Amino acid sequence: MPMDPQIEAMLASAPAWPPVSSMPVEELRAAVRASSLAIPPLDVPLASISDDAIEGPGGPIPIRIYTPAGEGPFPGIVYFHGGGWVVGDLDTQDMIARGLAHGADAVVVSVDYRLSPEHPFPAAPDDAWAATLWTARHAAGLNIDPARLAVAGDSAGANLAAGVALRARDAGAPKLVAQAMFYGSGNYPSEETPSSEEFAKGPLLSRDDVHFFWRQYLADPDKDQHHPLASPIRAASHAGLPPAYMGTAEIDPSRDDGERYAAKLEAAGVPVETRRYAGMVHGFVSWLAFLPGARTAMDDACAFLKRQFAAQN
């Protein structure tokens, strides 16, 4: 399947993006932020959007709370942004959080976890876990029904969501009813896959970029890559995890790892919905405001989440 024509035209008209390893981290973050903020905010009706900060294991964690229109109590979604654990913040994936809040009719708590390389693994998973615990504890004040709590994320954030689901299962609480992941790999790239070879040069995300982000994230890749919070697919067991949605992009070096993680969950008896979006590239859901394929993926993820929430009634 060829690349989506709208994406192809957009990439053809934009300056070529240099390898991420060629840019200082602060410059890379600024470039990603600028490109994200150049897109107008997603225009969906919400009752409120508010910023706050909670106490985390390494200091305050900024959060942004999206509340849908209506009376509630609503389901809750704790959301983790993508960016290779190196870039991204509450603004760069604001459109995904808005889309989830509106489409799933849920309160979304978006988490600005600590970034690498300043704060390497396990800082991001620890912040993600702390934010999930905080959301569960403060559900009433957030107008959230604690019996309908889910986690979600895109790319690196999808790996964080998967790690939180493992941690919640092992701890016995909070009870999560769903995990929704967009193009998360679920695994350290220690071996090549057909998609990592076919799309080694991208577009948008190359195989070298993938390895760069992992090198920033893991202080000791030889050891840390095996930790289930870094590579959820390597957990000893996946039984008892909440139902999962995994949306992958066809033209993405990390596609096969993400689909292998979904298959691993399914083999363990976890209800899984896996969708591969034809002609899409890594990160495509961030173009939700104007790309039909991104809207389709968001609609699919929100329909999945609403089914899991409804099952708790």
Q: How far apart are CA 181 and CA 246, in angstroms?
A: 5
| Cα 38 from chain centre | 21
| Active-site residue, selected from the candidate residues 36, 110, 116, 155 | 155
Asked whether 201 and 266 are in contact (CB, 8 A), the reply is: no
List the domain range (segments joined by +) for residue 48. 5-310
Strand partners, 78: 109, 151
- At 266-305, the pLDDT tens digits run 999 999 999 999 999 999 999 999 999 999 999 999 999 9
pLDDT tens for 113-163 read 999 999 999 999 999 999 999 999 999 999 999 999 999 999 999 999 999
Contacts of 147 by beta carbon, 8 Å cutoff, 6+ apart: 175, 177, 312
Residue 124 belongs to a domain with what CATH number?
A: 3.40.50.1820
**Predicted model pTM:** 0.98
Compute the distance between CA of residue 189 and CA of residue 229 in angstroms, rounded to an integer.
15
The set of residues, in sequence order, having a beta carbon less than 8 Å from that of 228 and lying 6+ positions away, is 163, 166, 234, 235, 236
Q: Is 155 a catalytic residue?
A: yes
Domain count, the chain: 1
